Amino acid sequence: MAIDNLDLAQCLEEAKAFHGDLCAGIVLGTRMSILGLQAIGISDPKGKDRKDLIVFVETDRCVTDAVLATTGCHPGKRTMKILDYGKMAATFINLKTGKAVRVNPKNKDGDKRKTREEIEQNPHTEEYTMMPAEDLFNVVEVSVDLKPEDMPGKPLHIVTCSSCGERIMDVREVLKDGNILCKPCASNSYYYTPMHSEAQQKL
């Protein structure tokens, strides 16, 4: 069904069902998605326009689930790129026209630092649902440099890391001293094993 024919309540129900509950992040992510899709001219993101849309999200929290549920974009389909900047923002790109917009909530707290307890005491879910979009969000047209290796579809090539022997897709390898390396072997990894440590020491 076209996004133009979906009211906010229906979109929220779909996002709630996917995420498991209705929180402030789900409301914001759903509304951000509707605004972004409308701004770039995508009317049917899960149907006829599904191959014309890529979304970049800037957090790994509730907002991202709402964007996924509303747009139909998925990391596994390479139509959703998750950049964990810790920011409640998303950029929506129409691949057919090249138009892209970044949507984020307006900062109404200034430089105020909030604790988890303060956030839990003021969920704002109903307020975010009712507030006019122009009062709640910034929508800015942007440019995004999409590289061929970032696009949906089969990998451009697959190579083998000369250190750990694992395969690397989508031009994510690093060339170092004439060797093809995966990023963990070329720098620092989020995980460590005895084999991994020995491989790095040999470089």
**Domain boundary at 110, 125, 147, which?**
147
3-class SS of residue 198 = helix
Give the list of residues 6+ apart from residue 2 with CB closer than 8 angstroms, or none: 43, 44, 47
Number of structural domains (the chain) is: 2
3-class SS of residue 136 = helix
Residues 108-156 have pLDDT tens digits of: 766 667 666 766 666 678 888 889 999 999 999 999 999 999 999 999 9
17 and 68 in a common domain: yes
97 and 47 in a common domain: yes
What's the whole-model pTM score?
A: 0.87
Q: Is residue 162 part of a domain?
A: yes
115 and 135 in a common domain: yes
Distance CA 61, CA 63 (A): 6
Reading phi first (left if > 0) and then psi (alpha if -120 to 50, else beta), residue 138 is in beta
125 and 78 in a common domain: yes
Q: Is residue 152 part of a domain?
A: no
Q: Is residue 153 part of a domain?
A: no
**Token representation of residue 87:** 């920011």
Q: Which residues, in sequence order, are bridge partners of residue 116? A: none
Identify the residue with better confidence: 87 or 5: 87
194 and 101 in a common domain: no
185 and 90 in a common domain: no
Give the list of residues 6+ apart from residue 35 with CB closer than 8 angstroms, or none: 103, 133, 137, 139
26 and 46 in a common domain: yes
Among candidate residues 62, 71, 83, the one with its CA nearest the CA of residue 38? 71
Give the type of residue at 174: V
128 and 172 in a common domain: no
Give the type of residue at 40: I
Say which CATH number the domain at 41 has.
Answer: 3.30.1330.130
121 and 179 in a common domain: no
Please give the radius of gyration of the chain, using alpha carbons only, rounded to the nearest integer: 20
**pLDDT (average), residues 75-94:** 97
Reading phi first (left if > 0) and then psi (alpha if -120 to 50, else beta), residue 170 is in left
The DSSP symbol for 5 reads G
24 and 79 in a common domain: yes
Domain that holds residue 180: 158-202
165 and 138 in a common domain: no
Reading phi first (left if > 0) and then psi (alpha if -120 to 50, else beta), residue 181 is in beta
The pLDDT score that the predictor gives to residue 86 is 95
CB distance 106 to 138 below 8 Å: yes
The pLDDT score that the predictor gives to residue 1 is 38
126 and 168 in a common domain: no
Q: Residue 21's pLDDT band (boundaries 50, 70, 90)?
A: very high
**DSSP alpha helices (H): ranges in the chain?**
8-19, 24-40, 62-71, 116-121, 125-130, 133-136, 183-186, 194-202
